A and B are shown apart, each in its own frame.
Chain A
Amino acid sequence: IMASTKASKEQKYDRQLRLWGDHGQETLENAHVCLINATATGTEILKNLVLPGIGAFTIVDGHTVTGEDAGNNFFLSKDSIGKVCVAGSFHFLPTALTCLRLGSVLWSASVPFLVCKTYGLIGYMRLVVQEHTVIESHPDNALEDLRLDQPYAEFQNHIKSYDLDSMEKKDHSHTPWIIIVAKYLEKWLSEHNGQPPKNYKEKEAFRQLIREGIRKNENGVPEDEENFEEAIKNVNTALNPTKIPSAVEDLFNSEQCKNITAQSPCFWVMLRAVKEFVHNEGNGSLPVRGTIPDMIADSQKFINLQNVYREKAMQDAAAVSKHVESLLQSVGKVWPESIPEKDIKLFCKNASFLRVVRCRSLAEEYSVDTVNKDEITSCMDSPDSEMVFYLMLRAVDRFYQQHSRYPGVYNYQVEEDISKLKACVNSLLQEYSLNVNIKDDYIHEFFCIFGRYICSNLLLCFILGSAAQEAIKIISHQFVPFNNTFIYNAMSQTSATLRL
C-alpha cells in the first residue's frame, strides 16, 4: 500500500515535481499553514494549497482572532520551519489593528506572514518575513559559468590536448565551440599583451580571427563548420569576465555571514564556507558551477569537456565542504550530520543565484517614523501608479476604525461617505506628511463600488492563486518571493510590487 501511494503521488504531482523536484515536494508535505479568516473566502485558498500537497492546516476564524490568541501553539512553538501564516481580510476583520498585533507575534516567532485583501476591483498582498533565504532561485536567464577568461588548470590542460590545425576535418568540425574560443583567445592574448578583446571593434576582430580558422576546400571556399559559427555567435557572452554577482558580495558582507554561531542557519554556514573558499582555493571566484550548454560536437568531445567542468565543480564543492566542517567544529557542531554533502553541492551549484529576501515589518510600514515616504512619493509621481490604491486601502482602513463600518455599503450612505472618506485620505496623508495628490475620482470610485461583500470572487481567485504560490515559495525555499506589497488592479489588469 505504501508503494502504491508513493507511485500514485508521483503520478499526481508529476507536473509540479518538474518545477521544484522531489525535495521541494517534501518541504510542502511537511509544511503547516495557518489560515486566518479563510472561511470567509470559501475554500479558494485551501484548494490552492491542498492541491499541490501542503501537509497540514490550522484554520482560525477571523471574528475571534487577536494577535495573542490566534493559534498560540502554532506560532509559539520553537520549530517554525515549514510554517506560514496566511491571513485573508475580506470582511469584518479590522485590518490594521489586528494585522499589526498578529504581525508582531509572528515576527517574533519567525513565522512568515502573508496578508491578502481584496476591495472592489483591487487586490492586495503583503509579505512579512524577517529573513528568507533562497538557494534555488531558478533564474530565467542565467549566464553560463565557463571560466574562459580565467581557465583553471584542468581546463587549460584539456585545451592543450587539442591541436586544431592538425585535426582531421571531421574532428575539426565537431570540436566544441568552447574549445575553439579558448584556443583563439590564447592566440589573441599572445598577440595583444595578455589583454582580451574589450570593445566592439576588438570583439569583431576576434570574431574574424575565429572565422579565418574555418577550414577551406580545395577552391579556397570556406566549408560548412557549424561549430565555428556557434563559436562566433557566442563570443560576446563567452568573453564576459567571471565575476561574483554584487548580490552575492552583499551577502558575504552581511552580519549573518560574518558571525557564525551554533544557531546560524545552514544557509549562512554554507555561505561563509563559500566566502572562505573564494578567498582561498577559489582565487577570488565562486566554486565552478559545473554545467555547460549543449553545443555542436561529437559525443566524446562534448562529454570529455563536460566532465572537465563537472570534476572541477566536485573538487570545489569538496573544498567548500572542508570549510563547512571547520566552521561547524568551531561552533561545536558535527559534520556531515548538520549539513549533508548533497546540500553543499546544491549550494555551490547555485552560488551565483543565491538570494535573501528581507521584508520590513508591518510596524515599520505603519509607524510615522519609519514609513517609506520615498517609495510612496516617487511612485505617486507617475500618473498610472498602483500606489494610489495602496493609499486608498489605508484610508478605508482608517474609515473603518472611525466608523466601525466600510464606506458606502448602502446606497443612501454614498453621498455623506464621499466626504468622510476624503477626510480619512487627508488625515492619512497629513499624519505621514505625504505631499501627494489623490484625485477625487479614486475617492468616488472606491466607495461607489466598494463596500461590504464587495470582494468579487474573481479578484479573490487571482489574489489567492498568487498567494498560494508565494506560500509555496516560502515553504520550499525555491523561487523568489515578492518584497513586500503586491497590488493588482482588475479594472486594467495591471499590477505593481511596492516596497513599503
Chain B
Amino acid sequence: MAATLCGRLLPKQGWLPLTQSVRHGSKAVTRHRKPMHILKQKLMAITEYIPPKPAAPPGALTPRVKPVQEESGLVLLLKKDLQTMFQDCKMIAVIQNNATNSEDMLLLKHRLHKHGIKIKFIPNQVMRSYLADSPYINMGPLFIGQTVLFVSKEPKVKEMLLSLRTSPQMVLLGACIEKILLSRQGVLNYAKLPSVTVVQGELVSGLTMLTSQTASMLQRHPTHLSLILQQYLKQQAPAGSTNGTPGESPPKAEETA
C-alpha cells in the first residue's frame, strides 16, 4: 500500500524517511505460474476433473399434480338451481348476445316476462360441468362465449321468436324443448307446428275416415249399397277378361264369390 501511494504522496522536496517508508525492489506477489510445456498443458486440459452433476431434486421430475379444487358453495348452489330448472322447465333456449345494451335487455326481459319466460345468466364453466354429469351432455358445445338462457315452463316458442326478432344482436343457437335437443331450424319448425289438440283431431279423423265412410253407406237405403256392389263386380269382370289368361279369371271369380 505504501509502495502504491508513494508515487503520489512523495513530493521531490519534503520527504521524511522516518514517517514515510518505501519498499524498494520488493514485490508483493512472488508466486507466479510456471510456464508449462504445451503438451503438458494439453494433457492437463484433457484430464481436468469434471464433477458429477447433482441429480434433479425429486420435486422437479414428478409432474405437478394440481390439487383438485373443490367447487365453491356458489357453484353448488347454481348446480342445484340448474337441476330444478331442467326438471321443471319444458323449454330451455340458448342465445348468444353480442353486447346488448342494458336498456334493450330490460325491454326484452319485460316482454318475455309477460309470457312467463325468465332470462338466466350462468357462467359457462358451471354450465359445462353440470351438463357433463347430466344426460344433456350434447348441449355442451353450445356454451362458448357470451350466452344467455331463456327458460320457461311452457314451450312458448312463437312469442320468444317474435321478441328475439326485435333485438338483432341476440342469436338463437339451440333449444332443449321437452327434453329434446333442437337446433335453430328445429325450433323454427316446432313453432310452425299446430297445437296438440289440433294434431290429435287430425289423427283421429284420418284413422276413422274409412270406417265413417262405410257407416254412412250402410245408413243409406240398402238398394244403394247393392247397386254399388253390382257396379264393382261389373268393373272387376271386364278387367279380368281383358287380361286374357284364363288362369286369372277363375281365381277372381272365386274371390268375388
Chains A and B come from one and the same complex: no
Residues of B whose CB lies within 8 Å of any CB of A are: none
Residues of A whose CB lies within 8 Å of any CB of B are: none
